[in-house]
Structure 1
Amino acid sequence: MRSTLALFALALTVSVPAAAANEPSDYAAALADAQRPAADKERDAARHPAELLAFAEIDPGEKVGDYIMGGGYWTRLLATAVGPQGKVYAFQPDEFIAFRAAYGDEQNAAVAGRANVAALRGPVAAPPFPEKLDTIITVQNLHDLYLGAFPPDTAAKSIAALFDALKPGGTLVVVDHSAADGSGTTAANSIHRIDKAAAIAALTNAGFVVEAQSDLYKRPDDPRTANVFDPTIRGKTDQFALRLRKPN
């Protein structure tokens, strides 16, 4: 009898496949969305959107935040990826709109015609997400929290707000321009970069656990000392990608 039970348990074990990892091909519909502007599609080669969405493990039906959404590139992709049963909260900080009014216009354009996307505005350190989220994505923005125009505690408050906005077990995906090793956050104000080690320290100090890192945007030829807006390097910077989890 005992051997029969053991064989039965083994059969159960081998008959249940492990959950498949997200694959870039899962997001073909998001990339092919007819509502995407031509300018977005032209940036796909450098931004590797399908690969990043797979790295972020975005699934249909999820509630996702696009923190500091910029021009809406990721907002539009996320809207299709989460599907009609999901929700995307596209957050544009008041401070950014005050600096450049077009950010408000771009937010409006990204949300228009998308029933599953809601536009949010508020202080950069207090994004008003109305419900707990499965995932938050922020791309090329973490360094902005260390700009001299903001109070010194802006980064700590912002990261804490993102931690609070996630469900237990939720994930934060961060992509940003790499600064030289050991430079900390000092390059944020001058060349719009941040040292990966400093980013990890700030995020883990807030309670996040690093779950995975990706070399998707690894570009060894970038010396990591030029301003990211320098025409010789723009669009070709070395960047890090992190997936962090809020513990259950």
Structure 2
Amino acid sequence: MRFINVIAGLALAAAPLSGALAKDEALAKAVASPHRTSTLVERDKARKPQEELEFFGIRPNMTVVEIAPGGGYWTEILAPYLHDKGTLYIAIAPRAASERAATQYDNWKKKIDENAIYGKVKISELGGGSYNIAPEGSADMVVTFRNVHNWMGQGTADQVFASFFKALKSGGVLGVEEHRASNDKPQDPKAQNGYVREDYTIALAEKAGFKYVGKSEILANPKDTKDWARGVWTLPPTLALGDQDREKYIAIGEADNFVLKFVKP
């Protein structure tokens, strides 16, 4: 595992970083769980869930907030991992925010009510003007995967990062994964192509009060030139151009992504 620790003297961060070197067998069991959706499991090679969550320093007794779970890729891993000793919140738009939000809420509520693996998952709110992702100062970790560009497009990135800071305990960790923009081009404040510069993301987190701990290069992809006709969605898994040059984009693979770790002082 390759990572860069940029705050060597920060005691709060040292334990998670060193602990990430030892394989978490409980996490490996959750990743290998037979309940996971087969199409999501197929993405493990590109997404490296074990390595990424270990880099963040996750433990099975933590209170964790997953932001915008989408199709449930990470939830399918986090729910069983945290089921016995920890707590998992999934932060989604309030049901009243829109028709789409209502459908998403109902789908998650049904899954939680009908499946023992998800039985202890708690639904919280992020979106539609609400930022109540967890009780203040209650979370050990907040994780977000490829969402920063959405908040930039909506003009809510500052409020979202502030909600992370508010929910976390002192010493709590924020883990951020996002499509990496080129450093030699200005950042589009709306991130319309889906790519975000690392330094821009670090600045957003630091503005909210976080300290930057370090980064992992486990999701780096040098084949991603970041100049695609449909932005990042040209690449897998979306393949926005359909059959046009499909094999070319499949060969390139998923986007070049950065993985950043922050801590709340």
- TM category (shorter chain) comes to 0.7 to 0.9
Distance in 1 (alpha carbons) for counterparts of 2:215 and 2:100 = 32
Deviations 1:13-55 (A, max 9, x none): xxxxx99613345321111222211122111111101101111
Q: Does the 8 A contact of 2:68 with 2:91 survive in 1?
A: yes
Unaligned 5+ segments in structure 2 are: 1-14, 240-248
| Residues 71, 202 of structure 1: alpha-carbon distance in 2 compared, 3 angstrom cutoff | same
Percent of matched pairs sharing the same residue = 29
1:130 to 135, 152, 155: 135
After superposing the two structures, state which structure 1 stretch, 77-86 or 169-178, moved more: 77-86
Give the superposition deviation at 1:100.
4.2
Q: Pairwise mapping of residues 182-197 of structure 1 onto structure 2 (< 5 A)?
A: 182-183=184-185, 185-186=187-188, 188-197=190-199
Q: Does 1:107 align with 2:112?
A: no
1:244 partner SS: strand
Give the superposition deviation at 1:166.
0.2
Distance in 2 (alpha carbons) for counterparts of 1:69 and 1:97 = 17
Unaligned 5+ segments in structure 1 are: 1-17
Aligned to 1:237: 255
Give the superposition deviation at 1:182.
4.7
Total equivalences in the alignment: 226
TM-score by length of 1: 0.81
Which is bigger in relative contact order (C-alpha 8 A, separation at least 6)? 2
After superposing the two structures, state which structure 1 stretch, 214-223 or 35-44, moved more: 35-44
Deviations 1:83-103 (A, max 9, x none): 412110011124997384554
Aligned to 2:120: 116
Give the superposition deviation at 1:104.
3.5
Q: Pairwise mapping of residues 27-176 of structure 1 onto structure 2 (< 5 A)?
A: 27-94=27-94, 98=98, 100=100, 103-104=104-105, 106-108=107-109, 111-112=112-113, 113=115, 114-123=118-127, 126-130=131-135, 132-147=138-153, 150=154, 152=155, 154-176=156-178
Give the superposition deviation at 1:215.
0.1
2:196 partner SS: coil
TM-score by length of 2: 0.76
Larger Rg: 1
Q: Does the 8 A contact of 2:194 with 2:232 survive in 1?
A: yes
| Residues 159, 98 of structure 1: alpha-carbon distance in 2 compared, 3 angstrom cutoff | same
Moved over 6 A (4+): none
2:19 to 18, 21, 37: 21
| Residues 110, 211 of structure 1: alpha-carbon distance in 2 compared, 3 angstrom cutoff | farther
Distance in 1 (alpha carbons) for counterparts of 2:99 and 2:227 = 25
1:69 partner SS: coil
CA RMSD of aligned residues (A): 2.6
